[in-house]
Amino acid sequence: MWTYPRLTGALRAFGNVSAGDGATEDARHGKDLAERKTLALQEQSKTCVSWSKIKDLVRQNAKAGKPDVDEALKQLTASAKAIAGVESSAETVESAAAYLFDIFRSTQCVGQSEARNLRNTFGPYPATHATKACQTVNKIVSWLPEKKLEELSTSSDQRGDGDGAETRQEFGTGIKFVPVEWAQDDNLSSSDSEDEVIPAREITLRYTGETIGERQARRVKEGGVADGKEAVDSFWLQKQVCQINK
């Protein structure tokens, strides 16, 4: 008796199909996620102050003891590593720390805007570490003079303008708008003289047509009666009906 091959057997015989290894798939997914985070941080670093400059400015101008400053910077780096991923390189962690300092220096808590920016950059992230990073940045900012914070903001703006960062513009800003010019009633007039006054048309319900008697008289006058015979029309029919009903 002829037996048909099973589908799985045919796939194994004629194709390169094998069961996926779960550990290999997870490792590949983790590698892709890490690469996406690195690329996103590289784009963000174009508009943020470098981590080395932030550390130098904080250590030189912070109104706090050196152990406290070093501990705060260490905590921010640890939070950045937890958010970016423990498998991230040192360069990626430093870029993440600079990015966290940039988005949290002007806010007191992790709001919706900050959470959306973190999610767009790092993907899923631990919220507890984001809150801890925000608290650490607020502590560091409280130690710095206002002028030094303005220097960081100015440096960040100049870096974003000079590194060729993409400027987002609202769609349609470069499209020239031409309003529709409607024709005026004066232009549509057929009159060549501006002083000519066109009288308004009178509207009346008065009937101006001929009556039956007027039509009969006109036909008689025009020769409608010939050889003593009346013309056969509606007037003649009405006359005949009246004679019958008498």
Residue 117 tokens read as 């920016």
- Per DSSP, helices labelled H in the chain are 7-14, 22-44, 51-61, 66-84, 90-104, 112-122, 127-143, 146-162, 185-188, 212-221, 234-245
Q: What digits encode the pLDDT tens for the residues 152-177?
A: 775 555 544 444 444 455 566 667 77
Q: How many residues does the chain have?
A: 246
Q: What is the pLDDT of residues 26-71, one digit of tens each?
A: 555 556 666 666 666 666 666 678 888 888 888 988 888 899 999 9
Structure tokens at 142: 């409280």
Domain ranges of the chain: 50-160
Burial string for 141-173 (b: 16+ CB within 10 Å, else e) reads: bebbeeebeebbeebbeebeeeeeeeeeeeeee
- Candidate ranges 37-51, 89-103, 195-209, 225-239; pick with highest mean pLDDT: 89-103
What percentage of the chain has pLDDT greater than the value 90? 11
> What are the backbone angles phi and psi of residue 226, rounded to the nearest 5°?
-130, 135
Angular region, 49: left φ>0, alpha ψ -120 to 50, beta rest: beta
What is d(CA 244, CA 242) in angstroms, rounded to the nearest whole number?
Answer: 5
